[in-house]
Chains A and B, each alone.
Chain A
Amino acid sequence: GAVVSQHPSRVICKSGTSVKIECRSLDFQATTMFWYRQFPKQSLMLMATSNEGSKATYEQGVEKDKFLINHASLTLSTLTVTSAHPEDSSFYICSARDNGNTGELFFGEGSRLTVL
Protein backbone atom coordinates (compact mmCIF):
# COMPACT_ATOMS: atom_id res chain seq x y z
CA GLY A 1 0.00 0.00 0.00
CA ALA A 2 0.90 3.64 -0.30
CA VAL A 3 3.44 4.90 2.20
CA VAL A 4 4.21 8.33 3.52
CA SER A 5 7.52 8.70 5.27
CA GLN A 6 8.34 11.38 7.82
CA HIS A 7 11.83 12.20 8.93
CA PRO A 8 13.05 12.58 11.58
CA SER A 9 10.68 10.62 13.77
CA ARG A 10 12.12 12.27 16.88
CA VAL A 11 14.18 15.40 17.25
CA ILE A 12 15.43 17.31 20.25
CA CYS A 13 16.80 20.80 19.78
CA LYS A 14 17.78 23.85 21.77
CA SER A 15 15.67 26.97 21.93
CA GLY A 16 16.39 29.35 19.11
CA THR A 17 17.42 26.76 16.59
CA SER A 18 15.46 25.74 13.50
CA VAL A 19 14.28 22.24 12.76
CA LYS A 20 13.25 20.79 9.41
CA ILE A 21 10.82 17.91 9.11
CA GLU A 22 10.41 16.06 5.82
CA CYS A 23 7.30 14.37 4.48
CA ARG A 24 7.75 12.08 1.49
CA SER A 25 5.27 10.09 -0.50
CA LEU A 26 7.20 6.97 -1.40
CA ASP A 27 5.18 5.38 -4.16
CA PHE A 28 2.80 8.01 -5.39
CA GLN A 29 2.76 11.63 -6.38
CA ALA A 30 1.10 14.21 -4.18
CA THR A 31 0.37 17.71 -5.36
CA THR A 32 -1.24 18.39 -2.00
CA MET A 33 0.05 17.56 1.45
CA PHE A 34 -1.26 18.61 4.84
CA TRP A 35 0.59 19.39 8.05
CA TYR A 36 -1.02 18.77 11.42
CA ARG A 37 0.05 19.40 14.97
CA GLN A 38 -1.00 17.23 17.87
CA PHE A 39 -0.56 17.90 21.59
CA PRO A 40 -0.50 14.97 24.03
CA LYS A 41 -3.84 13.21 24.30
CA GLN A 42 -5.45 15.77 22.03
CA SER A 43 -6.73 15.86 18.51
CA LEU A 44 -4.94 16.84 15.33
CA MET A 45 -5.05 20.50 14.42
CA LEU A 46 -4.55 21.38 10.78
CA MET A 47 -1.72 23.86 10.40
CA ALA A 48 -1.44 24.32 6.68
CA THR A 49 -2.09 22.89 3.24
CA SER A 50 1.07 22.42 1.23
CA ASN A 51 0.76 22.78 -2.54
CA GLU A 52 3.49 21.69 -4.93
CA GLY A 53 4.97 24.63 -6.76
CA SER A 54 3.03 27.29 -4.90
CA LYS A 55 2.73 28.86 -1.50
CA ALA A 56 1.21 26.95 1.36
CA THR A 57 -2.18 27.91 2.69
CA TYR A 58 -2.08 28.42 6.43
CA GLU A 59 -4.93 27.99 8.86
CA GLN A 60 -6.03 30.89 11.00
CA GLY A 61 -3.69 31.49 13.90
CA VAL A 62 -0.72 29.65 12.41
CA GLU A 63 2.30 31.88 11.88
CA LYS A 64 3.64 31.34 8.39
CA ASP A 65 7.00 32.87 9.25
CA LYS A 66 7.31 30.51 12.19
CA PHE A 67 6.33 27.38 10.34
CA LEU A 68 7.88 27.49 6.89
CA ILE A 69 6.51 25.03 4.38
CA ASN A 70 8.18 24.14 1.10
CA HIS A 71 6.67 21.70 -1.38
CA ALA A 72 9.35 21.58 -4.01
CA SER A 73 8.43 18.33 -5.72
CA LEU A 74 5.47 16.01 -6.13
CA THR A 75 6.86 13.68 -3.48
CA LEU A 76 8.33 15.98 -0.85
CA SER A 77 7.06 18.65 1.50
CA THR A 78 9.10 20.10 4.32
CA LEU A 79 8.06 21.90 7.48
CA THR A 80 10.69 24.08 9.13
CA VAL A 81 10.05 25.27 12.66
CA THR A 82 12.11 28.43 12.88
CA SER A 83 13.61 29.80 16.08
CA ALA A 84 12.02 27.01 18.04
CA HIS A 85 10.80 27.54 21.59
CA PRO A 86 9.66 25.01 24.19
CA GLU A 87 6.01 25.76 23.37
CA ASP A 88 6.67 24.47 19.85
CA SER A 89 7.29 21.02 21.31
CA SER A 90 4.65 18.80 19.81
CA PHE A 91 3.89 15.88 17.53
CA TYR A 92 3.79 16.96 13.90
CA ILE A 93 2.02 14.74 11.37
CA CYS A 94 1.81 15.11 7.63
CA SER A 95 -0.59 13.57 5.18
CA ALA A 96 -0.38 13.32 1.42
CA ARG A 97 -3.19 13.06 -1.09
CA ASP A 98 -2.58 10.58 -3.88
CA ASN A 99 -2.81 12.28 -7.27
CA GLY A 100 -4.24 9.05 -8.61
CA ASN A 101 -7.87 8.44 -9.29
CA THR A 102 -8.89 7.69 -5.73
CA GLY A 103 -7.44 10.83 -4.21
CA GLU A 104 -6.90 8.82 -1.09
CA LEU A 105 -5.15 10.39 1.86
CA PHE A 106 -2.20 8.73 3.58
CA PHE A 107 -0.59 9.77 6.84
CA GLY A 108 3.01 9.75 7.92
CA GLU A 109 4.14 8.26 11.21
CA GLY A 110 4.65 11.65 12.78
CA SER A 111 7.64 13.57 14.10
CA ARG A 112 8.02 14.34 17.78
CA LEU A 113 9.77 17.65 18.38
CA THR A 114 11.13 18.49 21.80
CA VAL A 115 12.59 21.95 22.29
CA LEU A 116 14.74 22.35 25.38
Chain B
Amino acid sequence: SQQGEEDPQALSIQEGENATMNCSYKTSINNLQWYRQNSGRGLVHLILIRSNEREKHSGRLRVTLDTSKKSSSLLITASRAADTASYFCATDTGGGNKLTFGTGTQLKVEL
Protein backbone atom coordinates (compact mmCIF):
# COMPACT_ATOMS: atom_id res chain seq x y z
CA SER B 1 0.00 0.00 0.00
CA GLN B 2 1.04 3.60 -0.48
CA GLN B 3 3.03 5.08 2.36
CA GLY B 4 1.75 8.51 1.45
CA GLU B 5 -1.74 9.59 0.65
CA GLU B 6 -2.20 13.05 -0.72
CA ASP B 7 -5.16 15.31 -0.93
CA PRO B 8 -6.63 16.77 -2.85
CA GLN B 9 -6.05 14.49 -5.83
CA ALA B 10 -6.62 17.45 -8.11
CA LEU B 11 -6.63 21.18 -7.48
CA SER B 12 -7.52 23.97 -9.87
CA ILE B 13 -6.85 27.59 -8.91
CA GLN B 14 -6.40 31.00 -10.47
CA GLU B 15 -3.01 32.56 -10.96
CA GLY B 16 -2.01 34.55 -7.92
CA GLU B 17 -3.87 32.34 -5.47
CA ASN B 18 -2.20 30.06 -2.97
CA ALA B 19 -2.21 26.29 -3.39
CA THR B 20 -2.10 23.90 -0.45
CA MET B 21 -1.48 20.20 -0.77
CA ASN B 22 -1.50 17.70 2.07
CA CYS B 23 0.28 14.42 2.57
CA SER B 24 -0.31 11.77 5.20
CA TYR B 25 1.92 8.80 5.87
CA LYS B 26 1.85 5.72 8.04
CA THR B 27 5.25 4.90 9.50
CA SER B 28 8.06 6.80 11.20
CA ILE B 29 10.27 8.74 8.84
CA ASN B 30 13.77 10.19 8.65
CA ASN B 31 12.67 12.91 6.30
CA LEU B 32 9.90 13.86 3.93
CA GLN B 33 10.49 15.33 0.51
CA TRP B 34 8.30 17.07 -2.02
CA TYR B 35 8.75 16.65 -5.75
CA ARG B 36 7.24 18.19 -8.82
CA GLN B 37 6.56 16.37 -12.08
CA ASN B 38 5.52 17.96 -15.31
CA SER B 39 3.44 15.70 -17.52
CA GLY B 40 5.53 12.91 -19.00
CA ARG B 41 8.74 14.17 -17.45
CA GLY B 42 11.04 13.25 -14.61
CA LEU B 43 10.87 14.50 -11.07
CA VAL B 44 12.29 17.72 -9.74
CA HIS B 45 13.21 17.90 -6.08
CA LEU B 46 11.54 20.85 -4.36
CA ILE B 47 12.27 20.66 -0.68
CA LEU B 48 13.28 18.25 2.09
CA ILE B 49 12.15 18.50 5.67
CA ARG B 50 13.72 16.37 8.37
CA SER B 51 11.76 14.59 11.05
CA ASN B 52 12.98 17.03 13.71
CA GLU B 53 11.90 20.07 11.71
CA ARG B 54 8.43 21.55 11.75
CA GLU B 55 8.52 24.12 8.98
CA LYS B 56 10.73 25.00 6.08
CA HIS B 57 10.68 27.68 3.41
CA SER B 58 12.15 27.89 -0.05
CA GLY B 59 11.14 30.82 -2.21
CA ARG B 60 7.37 30.60 -2.71
CA LEU B 61 7.24 27.19 -1.09
CA ARG B 62 6.40 26.51 2.53
CA VAL B 63 6.41 23.00 3.93
CA THR B 64 5.17 21.93 7.33
CA LEU B 65 5.61 18.61 9.05
CA ASP B 66 3.61 17.25 11.97
CA THR B 67 5.12 13.95 13.00
CA SER B 68 2.49 13.42 15.70
CA LYS B 69 -0.18 13.42 13.02
CA LYS B 70 2.09 11.88 10.41
CA SER B 71 1.22 14.60 7.96
CA SER B 72 2.86 17.30 5.89
CA SER B 73 1.61 20.16 3.79
CA LEU B 74 3.06 22.03 0.85
CA LEU B 75 1.96 25.61 0.30
CA ILE B 76 2.75 27.39 -2.94
CA THR B 77 2.12 31.11 -2.61
CA ALA B 78 1.23 33.49 -5.42
CA SER B 79 0.84 30.65 -7.87
CA ARG B 80 1.75 30.99 -11.53
CA ALA B 81 0.56 29.13 -14.61
CA ALA B 82 4.03 27.58 -14.78
CA ASP B 83 3.36 25.88 -11.44
CA THR B 84 0.89 23.57 -13.20
CA ALA B 85 2.22 20.07 -12.55
CA SER B 86 1.79 17.03 -10.35
CA TYR B 87 3.23 17.26 -6.86
CA PHE B 88 4.31 14.23 -4.86
CA CYS B 89 5.40 13.80 -1.31
CA ALA B 90 7.92 11.07 -0.63
CA THR B 91 9.04 9.61 2.66
CA ASP B 92 12.47 8.30 3.53
CA THR B 93 11.98 5.84 6.34
CA GLY B 94 15.42 4.34 6.69
CA GLY B 95 17.82 6.88 5.35
CA GLY B 96 19.66 6.26 2.13
CA ASN B 97 17.05 7.96 0.00
CA LYS B 98 14.95 4.85 -0.63
CA LEU B 99 11.76 6.81 -1.10
CA THR B 100 8.13 5.85 -0.95
CA PHE B 101 5.93 8.19 -2.93
CA GLY B 102 2.48 9.46 -2.19
CA THR B 103 -0.42 9.38 -4.58
CA GLY B 104 0.19 12.90 -5.84
CA THR B 105 -1.82 16.07 -6.36
CA GLN B 106 -2.43 17.39 -9.85
CA LEU B 107 -2.31 21.16 -9.68
CA LYS B 108 -3.67 23.33 -12.45
CA VAL B 109 -3.10 27.06 -12.29
CA GLU B 110 -5.25 28.99 -14.73
CA LEU B 111 -4.59 32.45 -16.09
Residues of A within 8 A of B (CB): 4, 6, 32, 34, 36, 41-46, 49, 91, 93, 95, 97, 103-110, 112
Q: Which residues of A contact B102 (CB under 8 A)?
A: 43
Asked if B96 is an interface residue, CB under 8 A from chain A, the answer is yes
- Tell me if B40 and A93 are in contact (CB < 8 A): no
- Tell me if B41 and A103 are in contact (CB < 8 A): no
Known: A49-B98, A97-B97, A105-B99. A43 touches B43 (CB 8 A): no
Q: Least Cβ distance of B8 to chain A in Å?
A: 14
Q: Is the interface of A mostly helix, strand, loop or mixed?
A: strand
Residues of B within 8 A of A (CB): 2, 35, 40-45, 88, 96-104, 106
- Centre residue among B43, B101, B103 by max chain A CB count within 10 A: B43
What's the Cα separation between A111 and B44 when bound, in Å?
Answer: 16
Q: Least Cβ distance of A4 to chain B in Å?
A: 8
- Tell me if B43 and A107 are in contact (CB < 8 A): yes
